[in-house]
């Protein structure tokens, strides 16, 4: 999947869950400290990403979901792994 398209989809999902306009979700803005997400929002984001893309995000990778950019890179990596498996 194209990087920009994937990032837009993830941005829209994050914005919906944390109830902010998508324009506020930038690749380098921290979801918790900059955008006001809470730990329950983070769990919901993980669950939605797993369901939407058919991936599994393990606990160690959960820490990588701090920003839109890091979330996009993680999903891309897991999709590549899934495709190559």
Do 13 and 48 contact (CB within 8 A), yes or no? Answer: yes
**DSSP-based helix, strand, coil % in the chain, nearest 5:** 65, 0, 35
Task: Return the CATH fold of 3-84.
Answer: 1.10.1200
pLDDT of residue 83: 86
**pLDDT band, very low/low/confident/very high, at 1 (cuts 50, 70, 90):** low
- Rounded to whole angstroms, the Cα distance separating 60 from 28 reads 20
**Domain map (residue ranges) of the chain:** 3-84
Residue 10: exposure state from Cβ atoms within 10 A (0-12, 13-18, ≥19): buried
Q: What are the pLDDT digits (tens) for 21-44?
A: 999 999 999 999 999 999 899 999
pTM of the model: 0.92
User: Quick check: helix, strand or coil at residue 66?
Assistant: coil
The answer to whether the beta carbons of residues 68 and 7 sit under 8 Å apart is: yes
């Amino acid at each position: 999947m194209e990087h920009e398209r994937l990032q837009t989809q993830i941005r829209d999902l994050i914005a919906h869950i944390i109830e902010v306009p998508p324009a506020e979700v930038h690749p380098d803005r921290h979801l918790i400290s900059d955008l006001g997400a809470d730990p329950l929002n983070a769990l919901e984001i993980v669950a939605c990403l797993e369901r939407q893309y058919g991936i599994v995000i393990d606990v160690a990778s959960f820490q990588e979901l701090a920003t839109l950019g890091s979330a996009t890179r993680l999903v891309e990596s897991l999709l590549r792994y899934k495709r190559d498996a």
